[in-house]
Chains A and B, each alone.
With several copies, the nearest count.
Chain A
Amino acid sequence: MAKKQNQSNIVNSLNKLHVPQPTARPDEFNDFSNLNIPNVEQAECPAIDTNPHEMRGLAYGLIRVLDDDGNAAGNWNSTIEPHVLVKGLKDMLVTRMFDERMQMMHRVGKISFYMKSTGEEAISVAHAAAINFADMVFPSYRNQGILIARGYSLVDMMCQCLSNARDNCKGRQLPIMYSWKKGNFFSISGNLATQFSQAVGWAMAEAQQGGGRVASAFVGEGSTAELDFHSALTFATAFSPPVILNITNNQWAISSNQVVAGGEKTTFAARGIGFGLPSLRVDGNDFLAVYAATKWAAARARAGLGATVIEYFTYRVAPHSSSDDPSAYRPKNEPDFWPLGDPIDRLKTHLINLNQWSETQHETLIEDIKTEMKQNYKQAESYGTLKSGDRPDVTTMFEDVYEDMPLNLLRQRQEMGL
């Protein structure tokens, strides 16, 4: 036995549990030089009906389309209509500026909580651009870009965050826990990953009824450790439903680096290989790569070929939430060194290279969004804030627990004098 020799990869010193550690802590330095970023030519683009076993390599590489100069190249490059890209750029900007506005509103006490998606906008926005509006999204809490790309009203989003009288969640949910049924956007759960396995069920029903739509679910890399991730992949491999299982690997889960979730020994895309599913690892800050990978996965799903797992490799520039201060656990300047750049800058450069965009247009757009954002916020605030007392009617508190209100709730409502 044990014929071939190899360098040691011993990870445990005896007498000590191996506890995975991030590259750097606050007083240390990390320029991500440990990362191996392949160039855009590296990843092959197999036909969608290729046997998943023949494309395992995609889970270990990195699908990229935009090179460092903002030019599109490689096997995953395809023609995308410029207006799609311009819309993508705009949606990413709106997403970022919406986040900034709401973060500010949290700081001044207008809303109780907020979560930004800064640096991760391409994932939501390009993904939304690459699937159909009728496709059903099972989002995590960092997919506000999908709502924006699908044209959800910013005022409605703000009203949800304000828990005011126009909040369609009727004041029951934390800010950012959106639900938009008409937009085929599932109600966000506070319980991590539960939507992942539900999405597979939705897609099973779609296959069963032959509707031709696709389900698309998102989790963070930290949440892949949760049980529903396993249920999702198990049912996805068994029943081959039309579903895209997206993992946003933004390196952090609150204070826990992706190594804690099990990212030390392999990629998160590789989880899909364990189930014989096609598994793509994608530059999440590359709008065109996210778009291409999503299109590919959606085409597979629609062709009856079943589920695809996609890991988006990105970086959580923002704090985890408004309650978090990342300088307590990672170098303050770590975001600046993220080697895959900023998704907005990269798409902008690309569009400028294509002569479809200019610095002036960009600046004008930003000003326009700013103005719009202010107006929207003003309007949203006119429906009240949590503090102003313009909340949904308090009697609604007892509704929607069941379809019909049972006696115990009727009596409790009476007891409250409502």
Chain B
Amino acid sequence: MAQMNMLEAILSAQKTMLARDDKVVILGQDIGYFGGVFRATEGLQAEFGSNRVFDTPISENGIVAAAIGMSLNGLRPIAEIQFADYIYPAFDQIASEAAKLRYRSGGEYSTNLTIRTPCGGGIRGGQTHSQSPEGIFTHVTGIHVIMPSNPYDAKGLLISAIQSNDPVIFFEPKRLYNGPFYGEPDKPSVGWDSHEKGEVPEGHYTIPFGKAAITRAGEDLTIITYGTMVHVVETAVKMAGVDAEIIDLRSLAPIDNDTIINSVNKTGRCLVAHEATKTGGFGAEILSIIQENCFWKLRAPIERVTGWDIPYPHAFEWEYFPGPKRITNAINRIMEA
């Protein structure tokens, strides 16, 4: 085991797979010689050559399309989209092509493409460097949607993504690259060495899709979340002094219904939290699953704490962000109901 931050874990996953499977290739903007604007591919071109790791023109559509084509010819491409906010030009290739290819061809063709992309706010990136568009992709059947919350999971899940024979969108909460973020921007930041999930095996291991993690067991209420919000929720739970069960979904599609349902059936209370905007977000799906499956056990309305329904504003980053206080308020409301 080694100490890794989340970037190192993501780098390690890619390096492990490049070494293990010569069909693995990486493409994206600035990911070659330079090693990526977040350094998630640092050193990989030097080690594996530009035949395996290379820069592309600035065309998200072209990147995804080329990666699909490469996968059709036996390769196993990892495509980096520099910011999740810039994934939209590739939307058609993802939703109409990658997601539907296996189906439309009666199983003859399919793509194993993995798309890695940094998402979420907290770096003063303004509205085009902060978005969390996962809720747009969870409505597209035929792709897997993953978002890890820590280095250990990031590496294991990314290796699973690369090995998967289905297309995967792997969202990386950039606020977590260097350390867990507990939702308090004014507090000094801490590194992953302070967190048990910063211990990451050097070699190959996988974490299966569709399995949520219970990051805190509890009896009072269930909080379902993923990505950065896992740590923010932790803070809020401490502040509220409740015995919450915190579920880190990790995999949004496929989603781990059983873990969710068992927990809410036990606690009877539930809160859903994500950084993305509320209306039509993935929180609505989580809430619906619970409502449909745990109706008779629910003792209070499920609440959603999310980003407001506005673009992520540069100067009001922390007013937009669903921080510990808003979560605590919601916890209190739910516990009092």
Q: What residues make up the interface of A, taking CB atoms closer than 8 Å to B?
A: 16-17, 19, 21, 25, 112-113, 136, 163, 167-174, 177, 179-181, 186-187, 189-192, 194, 197-206, 208-209, 211, 215, 222-223, 225-228, 230-232, 234-235, 238, 253-256, 260-262, 323, 328-329, 386, 391-392, 394, 397-403, 406-409, 412, 416
Q: What residues make up the interface of B, taking CB atoms closer than 8 Å to A?
A: 25, 29-30, 32-34, 37, 50-51, 54-59, 61-62, 65-75, 85-86, 88-89, 92-93, 96-97, 101-110, 124-129, 141-142, 144, 164-166, 210, 253-255, 257, 278-279, 308-311, 313-316, 319-320
A172 to B164: give the CA distance in the assembly, Å. Answer: 24
A323 to B38: give the CA distance in the assembly, Å. Answer: 10
Contacts of A169 in B (CB 8 A): 104-106
Q: List 8 A-B contacts (CB under 8 A).
A: A16-B51, A171-B314, A172-B126, A201-B70, A202-B70, A208-B70, A223-B58, A231-B65
- A19 → chain B closest CB, angstroms: 4
Q: Is there contact, CB below 8 Å, between A400 and B107?
A: yes
A392 to B107: give the CA distance in the assembly, Å. Answer: 14
Q: Is there contact, CB below 8 Å, between B310 and A401?
A: yes
Q: Is there contact, CB below 8 Å, between A136 and B127?
A: no
Q: Is there contact, CB below 8 Å, between A163 and B279?
A: no
Across chains A and B, which 6 residue pairs bring their CB atoms closest together, nearest first? A201-B69, A190-B128, A171-B315, A231-B62, A201-B66, A197-B65
Contacts of A179 in B (CB 8 A): 104-106, 108-109
Given A21, A206, A222, A408, which contacts B279 in the complex, CB threshold below 8 Å?
A408
Q: A202-B72, A205-B74 are contacts. A190–B97 as well, Cβ < 8 Å?
A: no
Contacts of B29 in A (CB 8 A): 253-254, 256
Q: Is there contact, CB below 8 Å, between B58 and A401?
A: no
Q: A254-B37, A399-B107 are contacts. A409–B308 as well, Cβ < 8 Å?
A: yes
Contacts of A172 in B (CB 8 A): 103-104, 106, 126-127, 311, 313-316
Given B33, B66, B89, B313, which contacts A235 in the complex, CB threshold below 8 Å?
B66
Q: Is there contact, CB below 8 Å, between B57 and A234?
A: yes
Smallest CB gap from B88: residue in A:
A191
Contacts of A391 in B (CB 8 A): 315-316
Smallest CB gap from A164: residue in B:
B315
Q: Is there contact, CB below 8 Å, between B254 and A406?
A: yes
Most-contacted residue by chain A among B50, B72, B255, B309 (CB, 10 A): B72
Smallest CB gap from A213: residue in B:
B73
Could you tell me the dominant secondary structure of chain B's interface residues?
A: loop
Smallest CB gap from B49: residue in A:
A16
A402 to B141: give the CA distance in the assembly, Å. Answer: 9
Q: Is there contact, CB below 8 Å, between B314 and A226?
A: no
Q: Is there contact, CB below 8 Å, between B57 and A260?
A: yes
A329 to B141: give the CA distance in the assembly, Å. Answer: 39
Contacts of A398 in B (CB 8 A): 308, 310
Contacts of A260 in B (CB 8 A): 55-57
Contacts of A190 in B (CB 8 A): 85, 96, 126-129
- List 12 other contacts, CB 8 Å, given A172-B126, A194-B65, A201-B72: A179-B105, A181-B108, A181-B109, A198-B72, A225-B58, A235-B66, A238-B57, A255-B33, A323-B37, A400-B106, A403-B165, A412-B278
A198 to B110: give the CA distance in the assembly, Å. Answer: 12
A113 to B103: give the CA distance in the assembly, Å. Answer: 20
Q: A19-B32, A192-B58, A235-B62 are contacts. A171–B316 as well, Cβ < 8 Å?
A: yes
Contacts of B310 in A (CB 8 A): 397-398, 401, 409
Given A19, A223, A401, which contacts B51 in the complex, CB threshold below 8 Å?
A19
Contacts of B127 in A (CB 8 A): 172-173, 190
Contacts of A113 in B (CB 8 A): 124, 126
A260 to B57: give the CA distance in the assembly, Å. Answer: 5
Q: A197-B69, A227-B61, A256-B30 are contacts. A402–B96 as well, Cβ < 8 Å?
A: no
Given B25, B57, B103, B278, which contacts A400 in the complex, CB threshold below 8 Å?
B103
Q: A197-B93, A235-B56, A401-B102 are contacts. A225–B62 as well, Cβ < 8 Å?
A: yes
A190 to B128: give the CA distance in the assembly, Å. Answer: 6
Q: A198-B69, A208-B25, A260-B57 are contacts. A173–B102 as well, Cβ < 8 Å?
A: no
Contacts of A198 in B (CB 8 A): 65-66, 68-69, 72, 97
Q: Is there contact, CB below 8 Å, between B58 and A253?
A: yes
A186 to B129: give the CA distance in the assembly, Å. Answer: 20
Given A112, A205, A228, A386, which contacts B70 in the complex, CB threshold below 8 Å?
A205
Contacts of A328 in B (CB 8 A): 34
Most-contacted residue by chain A among B86, B109, B254 (CB, 10 A): B254
Contacts of B255 in A (CB 8 A): 408
A179 to B106: give the CA distance in the assembly, Å. Answer: 8
Q: Is there contact, CB below 8 Å, between B59 and A201?
A: no
A401 to B312: give the CA distance in the assembly, Å. Answer: 11
Q: Is there contact, CB below 8 Å, between B315 and A163?
A: yes
Q: Is there contact, CB below 8 Å, between B308 and A412?
A: yes
A11 to B313: give the CA distance in the assembly, Å. Answer: 45
Contacts of B61 in A (CB 8 A): 197, 227-228, 231
A240 to B109: give the CA distance in the assembly, Å. Answer: 25
A392 to B68: give the CA distance in the assembly, Å. Answer: 28
Contacts of A199 in B (CB 8 A): 69
- B284 → chain A closest CB, angstroms: 13
A260 to B126: give the CA distance in the assembly, Å. Answer: 27
Smallest CB gap from A169: residue in B:
B106
Q: Is there contact, CB below 8 Å, between A191 and B128?
A: yes
Given B56, B89, B319, which contacts A227 in the complex, CB threshold below 8 Å?
B89
- A200 → chain B closest CB, angstroms: 6
Q: A201-B69, A262-B57, A397-B320 are contacts. A194–B102 as well, Cβ < 8 Å?
A: no
Q: Is there contact, CB below 8 Å, between A177 and B86?
A: no
Smallest CB gap from A171: residue in B:
B315
Q: Is there contact, CB below 8 Å, between B106 and A170?
A: yes
A192 to B141: give the CA distance in the assembly, Å. Answer: 20
Most-contacted residue by chain B among A200, A215, A231, A416 (CB, 10 A): A231
Q: Is there contact, CB below 8 Å, between B65 and A173?
A: no
Q: Is there contact, CB below 8 Å, between A406 and B210?
A: yes
A2 to B272: give the CA distance in the assembly, Å. Answer: 67
Contacts of A409 in B (CB 8 A): 308-310
Smallest CB gap from A208: residue in B:
B51
Contacts of A189 in B (CB 8 A): 96-97, 104, 128
A112 to B319: give the CA distance in the assembly, Å. Answer: 17
